[in-house]
Amino acid sequence: MYLMLPEETDVVGEDYSDARLSGQTWSQRTFTNCNFRDADLTGIKTESVVFTDCDFTGTDLGESVHVGTAFRSCNFARTSLWHSTFRNCSLMGSTFEGCRIRPLTLEEVDFSLTALGGADLRKIDFTSCRFREANLVRTDMRGAILASADLTGARTGGLKLEGADLRGARIDASLWTSATVGNAKIELMQAVSYASAHGLVVDI
């Protein structure tokens, strides 16, 4: 059943599971502890909306557009995000599991403290995005663009970065030994850090 949301700007604890909400535009609203399980949110547009502790399990967010929106500590399990766009958004503390993510358009998105372990993020452009203290264990970022991204404090065991562009990225020294980085593009000082992490001494 297609559902139009009520006009109130602060929504708490509502159940929108299985609802058809596609194509709607939401602006300057807050949703707290709301259930969007298996809902159809294809093509929705949000601007300056805040979702806190919301459940998007099985939700279809394909082709949606989000500007200045925050998804705080939300659950994305088996969620479809492909062909969606996030500009100046925050996904801080959210969890992603078994999601269909690619292709995805991002502009300066904050993934700090997110759980993205094992996610397929190949060839996505993450330029200037933040992954501070994120879980990237066994995440596949082969061919991704991480130019000027911030990965400080991220857990990177088994992270796949072959062919990725890491130029200008903020990276902890531990990444050079915990991730696979064959054929990645890096800068001179990053190369020095890589060599040092592997016990080499570089005389510049």
pLDDT tens by residue, 62-78: 999 999 999 999 999 99
Tell me the two tokens of residue 117.
Answer: 């372990």
Q: How far apart are CA 112 and CA 178, in angstroms?
A: 19
Residue 144 DSSP one-character state: -
Residue 159 DSSP one-character state: -
Q: What is the pLDDT of residues 146-171, one digit of tens each?
A: 999 999 999 999 999 999 999 999 99
Q: Check residue 167 and give its pLDDT.
A: 97
Q: What is the pLDDT of residues 1-56, one digit of tens each?
A: 566 666 668 999 999 999 999 999 999 999 999 999 999 999 999 999 999 999 99
Q: Say whether 192 sits in a helix, a strand or coil.
A: helix
- 3-state SS of 45-85 is EEECCEEECCECCCCECCCCEEECCEEECCEEECCECCCEE
Q: Which of 168, 153, 143 is nearest to 112 (CA)?
A: 153
Q: What is the pLDDT of residues 103-121, one digit of tens each?
A: 999 999 999 999 999 999 9
**Omega prior to 103 cis, within 30 of 0:** yes
Q: Check residue 204 and give its pLDDT.
A: 64
pTM value is 0.93
8-22 b/e (C-beta count within 10 Å ≥ 16 → b):
eeebeebebeebebb
Q: How far apart are CA 196 and CA 199, in angstroms?
A: 5
